Amino acid sequence: MPLDNVRDMSLSRIAMKAELLDAETELRLAYAWRDERDEAALHRLITAYMRLAISMASKFKRYGAPMNDLIQEAGLGLMKAADKFDPDRGVRFSTYAVWWIKASIQDYVMRNWSMVRTGSTSSQKSLFFNMRRVQARLERESASAGETLDRHQLRQMISTEIGVPLHDVEMMEGRLSGSDYSLNATQSVDDEGREWIDALEDDSAQAAETVEHTHDTEQLREWLLSAMAALNERERFIVRERKLRDAPRTLESLGQELSLSKERVRQLEAAAFGKMRKSLEHQSREVHHFLA
C-alpha cells in the first residue's frame, strides 16, 4: 500500500475498511509469498494488518514525531515482518508482526529525537521508552510512603527496575533532560547578542605556536642542508634518492645506475647517514651550549 502523500485520517479510513483475515487465509497468503513470491498475496497480507500498524504508531505520538511519519515507519516494520515471517512455526502473523512494527517505530523515534545519536542497544532502548514512566512511579511510591529519594537513589532504583547499568541511566537522563540548541542562539539578553558559538574553544594553532613551529622547521632545514653539505656528491645522490623522493628508489636500481652492487650502495648509504648524524649532533650541542 503506498504511504506517501496520504493524510493520516484518510489512511486510517482505508485501513479500517480492509478485510479481516481468518487464520486459514492468513496462512495461505503467507505461504504464497514465502514460496512463490506472490506480490498480490503480500499486498493483501499487509493491507489487512495496516490497522494494527496505525494503532501502534498512534501510541508514539507523545514523542513529537509527525503521525504520518510514524505510520510510514510502522508500515515498513509490517513489510519486514511479512518478508521474514515463517508460517511453519505455527504463530499468527499479527503476533509476529507486532515486534517488527514496534522495533521500526522505536528506531525512528530514537533517530529523530536528537541530532546526537541517542543509542540503539537494547538497554538504551529500554531506558528511552520506559525511564520516565518508571521514574514517575518510583517517585509516587516513595511519596506515598513518606520518603524522599535523592537523585542517586532514584537512578539506582531505575537501574535495578529496568535491569540496565547505572551509567546508562545517567547518560540517558542527560539526553532526555533537554532538546538540541543552535550554536547561533544568544547566551542571554545581557550578553549583547553574543552567541554560544563564540564561547567554543578555538582548536586551531595559536600565533605563538605557529611562530615557534615555523622557526623550528626552518632551523631543522638549515641543519639538514649543512649535514648534506658534508657529504660527497655520490653520497648526497644516494640520500636524496633513498629518503627525499616521494617514491624512494631501491638499492638495486641505484646500484644499476651507479654500476655498483646492491650491498655497496647499502654501505655508502649507511656511511652517509653516519656522517649526517655526527653533523646534526654537533650542531645540536652547539645550540644547547649557547642557550645554557
> In a 10 Å sphere around its CB, with 0-12 CB exposed, 13-18 middle and 19+ buried, how is residue 71 labelled?
buried
Can you list the alpha helix ranges (DSSP code H) found in the chain? Answer: 8-16, 23-36, 39-48, 50-58, 67-84, 93-113, 122-144, 151-162, 166-176, 207-229, 233-239, 251-258, 262-291
CA gyration radius, the chain: 35
- Set of cell numbers at residue 27: 496462512
What integer best gives the mean pLDDT of the chain?
78
Q: Is residue 112 over pLDDT 80?
A: no
CA distance 151 to 132: 14
- State the Cα–Cα distance between residues 93 and 97, nearest whole angstrom: 6
Query: Closest Cα partner for 3 from 76, 56, 63?
Result: 76
Residue 276: strand pairing partners: none
- pLDDT (tens digit per residue) in 174-223: 666 655 445 555 655 555 656 655 655 555 555 566 667 677 778 777 87
CA-closest candidate to residue 56, choices 97, 2, 13, 113: 97
Query: Mean pLDDT over residues 119-124, rounded?
Result: 63
Distance CA 283, CA 287 (A): 6
The residue among 192 and 124 whose pLDDT is bigger is: 124
Residue 280 has a pLDDT of 77
- Bridge partners of residue 195, in order along the sequence: 186
- Higher-confidence residue of 267 and 115: namely 267
Determine which of 115-129, 136-150, 160-174 has the lowest per-residue pLDDT on average: 115-129
pLDDT digits (tens, 9 = 90+) for 147-169: 888 888 888 888 888 788 887 77
DSSP one-letter code for 261: -
CA angle at 255 for the pair 249 and 258, rounded to the nearest 5°:
110
Under 8 Å CB-to-CB from 271, ≥6 apart: which residues? Answer: 235
Segment 237-263 shows an average pLDDT of 89
What band does 31 get if pLDDT is binned at 50, 70 and 90?
very high
Calpha distance 72→86 (Å, rounded): 24
Give the other-Cβ count within 10 Å of 70's Cβ.
Answer: 24
